[in-house]
Amino acid sequence: MTENMKPITDRGYKLLHNGAIALSQVEANGMRIDIDYLNRAIKNTEGRINKLSTRMQNDEVFKTWKKLFGTKTNMSSREQLGKVLFSELGYDCPSHTKTGKPQVNETALNSIDLRFVKDYVQIERLKKTRSTYLQGILRETTVNEFIHPVFNLHFVKTFRGSSDSPNFQNIPIRNPVIAKLVRRAFIARLNYRIVETDYSGVEIAGATCYHKDPKMIAYIENEKKDLHRDMAGQIYKLSKKQITKEIRYCGKNMFVFPQFYGDYYLHCAKNLWDAISQMKLKTTDGIKLFDHLKTKGIVKLGRCDPEQKPKEGTFEYHLKEIEDDFWNKRFKRYGKWRKDWWYEYLKKGYFDTLTGFRIEGVYKRNEVINYPVQGTAFHWLLWSLIRIQKILNKYKMKSLIVGQIHDSIVADVHKKEFKNYIEITQQVMTVDIRKHWKWINVPLKIETEASPVHGSWYEKEKVV
DNA sequence: TACTTCGGCGCC
DNA sequence: AAAGGGCGCCGAAGTA
């Protein structure tokens, strides 16, 4: 256990006890791996890396690099690349690390328009894929072609779980090309299909059990209401009809979630503003967002200097107003909870989760607000996993739980048990759990995705 | 050679 | 008043 966490109720203790037993079975089950595919994929990736590498070595920038570092030249050294770009070639260094060195991450590199730099970013992405994933999974695959990832319950200070050897919880999914390259290696057993069941919006629901804000409850209960869309509309001054999927995405991932995690308007304003050009945002009627905002009187982001008050009429000023409105009007009760929860912690020196644990020690405000929510959300998943596995065992079903990713359960489901498995997860994760924890004050929803029989994890598709 | 720290990046 | 929460794994560079 981490030093500052302990169960303070019988239920809390039992959850971890039964959770450890359940996860040990998950580990023993393991997931089937296509070794032949992995070997092919490694070779292919190798080829792509070599091709890019050759092109880079013929580039003018590389000559400068070699002049600077001679025999010490290492094309995968970010530090060296930083010196080449920011000291030698005179490009602007947008930011520095906490130890004062130039930051050479993807954001910084994307600001430089050179083929050499684009090739570098691409090659690093492929190397990450090769080493951490393709080779990393192959290394952990046993002679009978299974991996058995470890699922820990006692390392994470928020009461979440973690996974290692290999880490089952960070397999690529957002970049579709990389996702396919890696996930194709995870395959279903013969006559089985891979089924992944996610709790949707679980942290928002978890938080609602603490703050009990009636407006948030309404958002969750009413299928027609959509917080991310509403915020996107307020941010970019749009009507519901004008909001595209991309614009909603920005509202969700650059305002709503960051705000819940304790971010503030300056950071949000900058991201939301940059997204307009980077994602080429347009309304559903094809109007560029910059043009649209101009008609509403906003033409500038503002200086985004934390030391200075934002000027009226700027986008940052607008975001400051939205943030105020968000916490003091729209979700007034939630905003009050955050203050009360923090001051209560300052008085007592600890805080308790609804699932029966105490977290003691020195924490920052954002940690005190986030830990109970993150932990509670994971405990819902863990409780469900234990219950589902018990049912699978009790009825001697062939289907097996093979992994857990914080708010989702991955199983290898026998083709004849598919419908049954869906019913079990639905019952346990949305109905039974609310009988176990009476303080859950919002409906819980799940989403299921499944691969074809004999398919790979990459091929999963929504089950309706 | 073995170990640690840092920065980076994959995921929720 | 402060100003994004949580992981694990990799390679580079420094140290012993």
Nucleotide nearest to A202 (CA to C1'): B12
Query: In angstroms, what CA-CA distances link A240 with A24, A215, A246, A393, A417?
Result: 48, 19, 13, 48, 42
Return the half-sphere exposure (C-beta side, CA atoms, 13 A cut-off) of residue A327. 19
Q: Which amino acid is at A195?
A: V
* One domain for residues A239 and A310: yes
| C1’ B5 / CA A96, Å | 17
The protein residue nearest B10 (Cα–C1') is: A170
For residues A125 and A182, the answer to whether their CB atoms sit within 8 Å is no
Strand C nucleotides with an atom less than 7 Å from a protein beta carbon: 1-13
Q: Of the candidates A279, A312, A330, which is a domain's last residue?
A: A330
CA of residue A389 to C1' of nucleotide B12, angstroms: 22
Instruction: Provide the 8-state DSSP code for A373.
Output: H
The gap between A62 CA and C12 C1' (Å) is: 19
Regarding whether A29 and A151 lie in a shared domain, the answer is yes
Residue A325 included in any domain: yes
Residue tagged 């004849």 (tokens): A416
- pLDDT band at A102, cuts 50/70/90? very high
- Cβ neighbours of residue A190 under 8 Å, at least 6 residues apart? A454
The confidence band for A3, taking pLDDT boundaries of 50, 70 and 90, is low
The per-residue pLDDT for A7 is 79
Q: Judge contact between A64 and A217, C-beta under 8 A.
A: no
Nucleotide lying nearest to A175, CA to C1' measure? B10
Q: Is the pLDDT of residue A322 over 70?
A: yes
Q: How many residues does chain A have?
A: 464
A263 CB less than 7 Å from any atom of strand C: yes
> Does the pLDDT value for residue A331 go beyond 70?
yes
Closest CA to A405 of A134, A139, A30, A151: A151
In a domain, A363, yes or no: no
3-state DSSP assignment of residue A456? strand
Note the CA–C1' distance, A307 to C9, in angstroms. 38
What Rg do the C-alpha atoms of chain A give, in angstroms? Answer: 25
Q: Does A5 have pLDDT greater than 70?
A: no
DSSP 3-state of A285: coil
The answer to whether the C-beta of A371 is closer than 7 A to strand C is yes
Q: What is the pLDDT of residue A132?
A: 96
Last residue of one domain, picked from the residues A123, A138, A153: A138
Does residue A341 form part of some domain? no
What local confidence, expressed as pLDDT, does residue A364 receive? Answer: 92
In this complex, the answer to whether residue A179 has its CB under 7 A from any atom of chain B, a nucleic strand, is yes
pLDDT at residue number A86: 93
Give the angle A126-A131-A134 at the CA atoms, nearest 5°: 85
Pick out the nucleotide with least CA–C1' distance to A377: B12
Q: What is the mean pLDDT of residues A145-172?
A: 94
Answer yes or no: do A282 and A154 share one domain.
Answer: no
Residue A34 CA, nucleotide B12 C1', distance (Å): 26
pLDDT exceeds 80 at position A80: yes
**Domain assignment of residue A362, yes or no:** no
Same domain for A301 and A230, yes or no, is: yes
- pLDDT average, residue stretch A241-262: 92
Q: Is the pLDDT of residue A25 over 50?
A: yes
Between the CA of A98 and the C1' of B5, what is the distance in angstroms?
13
pLDDT above 80 (res A428): yes
Find the nucleotide nearest A179 (Cα to C1′): B10
pLDDT score recorded for residue A1: 45
Q: Encode pLDDT of A211-240 as tens digits.
A: 999 999 999 999 999 999 999 999 999 999
Would A342 be classed as within a structural domain?
A: no
In a domain, A281, yes or no: yes
How confident is the model over A108-116, as a mean pLDDT? Answer: 93
Is the Cβ atom of A149 within 7 Å of strand B at any atom?
A: no
| CA-CA-CA-CA dihedral for A304, A121, A458, A172, to nearest 10 | -50
Looking at the fold, whether A165 and A313 belong to one and the same domain comes out as no
Mean pLDDT confidence for A66-78: 92
Residues A242, A322, single domain; the answer is yes
Q: Are residues A391 and A456 in the same domain?
A: yes
**CA at A269, C1' at B11: how many angstroms apart?**
25
pLDDT for residue A405: 96
Place of tokens 């914080």: A406
- Give me the pLDDT at residue A191, please: 97
- Is A374 near strand C, with its CB below 7 A from some atom of it? yes
Distance CA(A159)–CA(A406), nearest Å, equals: 11
pLDDT score of A241 more than 90: yes
Last residue of a domain, one of A330, A361, A389: A330
The answer to whether residue A385 is domain-embedded is yes
Do A28 and A152 belong together in one domain?
A: yes
Residue A213 falls inside a structural domain = no
Q: Which residue is nearest to nucleotide C12 (CA to C1')?
A: A77
A271 CB below 7 A from strand C atoms: yes
Please tell me whether any atom of strand B lies within 7 Å of the Cβ of A197. Answer: no
What three-state secondary structure class fits A334?
helix
pTM for this entry = 0.94
Distance A294 CA to C7 C1' (A): 42
Which pLDDT band holds residue A99 (cuts at 50, 70, 90)? confident
Highest mean pLDDT among A4-8, A10-14, A144-148: A144-148
In CATH, what number is assigned to the domain containing residue A67? 1.20.1060
Task: Answer whether any strand B atom is within 7 A of the Cβ of A171.
Answer: yes
- Domain at A416, CATH number: 3.30.70.370
Alpha helices in A350-412 (DSSP H): 365-394
pLDDT of residue A390: 98
Per the model's pLDDT, the better-predicted residue between A1 and A248 turns out to be A248
Q: Are A165 and A150 a contacting pair, CB within 8 Å?
A: yes
- The answer to whether the C-beta of A242 is closer than 7 A to strand C is no
Reported as half-sphere exposure (CB side, CA atoms, 13 A), residue A271 has a value of 20
Given a cut of 60, whether residue A48 has pLDDT beyond it is yes
Strand B bases, protein C-beta under 7 A: 6-12
**Number of structural domains found in chain A:** 3
What string of DSSP letters covers A90-141? ------B-TTSPBP-SHHHHHTS--HHHHHHHHHHHHHHIIIIIIIHHHHH-
Q: Could you list the residue range(s) of the whole structural domain that residue A190 is in?
A: 4-33+145-204+372-463
Indicate the range of A149-163, A377-391, A443-457 predicted with least confidence: A149-163
Share of residues in chain A with pLDDT > 90 (%): 85
pLDDT score at A2: 52
Six-digit token string for A179: 């996702």
Name the residue closest to B5, CA to C1': A99
Shared domain for A127 and A43, answered yes or no, is: yes
pLDDT tens digits, residue range A341-387?
Answer: 999 999 999 999 999 999 988 899 999 999 999 999 999 999 999 99
| pLDDT value of residue A157 | 87
Q: Tell me: the pLDDT tens digits for A120-153?
A: 999 999 999 999 999 999 999 998 999 999 999 9
A:165-194 Cβ neighbours of strand C under 7 Å: 165-167, 169-170
Shared domain for A168 and A228, answered yes or no, is: no
Residues A230 and A282 in one domain: yes
Per-residue pLDDT at A413? 98
Indicate if A29 and A152 belong to the same structural domain.
yes
Q: Using the CA of A170, which nucleotide's C1' is the nearest one?
A: B11
DSSP state letters, A200-234: TTHHHHHHHHHH--HHHHHHHH-TT--HHHHHHHH
CB atoms within 10 A of CB A213: 19
Q: Which nucleotide is nearest to A253 (CA to C1')?
A: C4
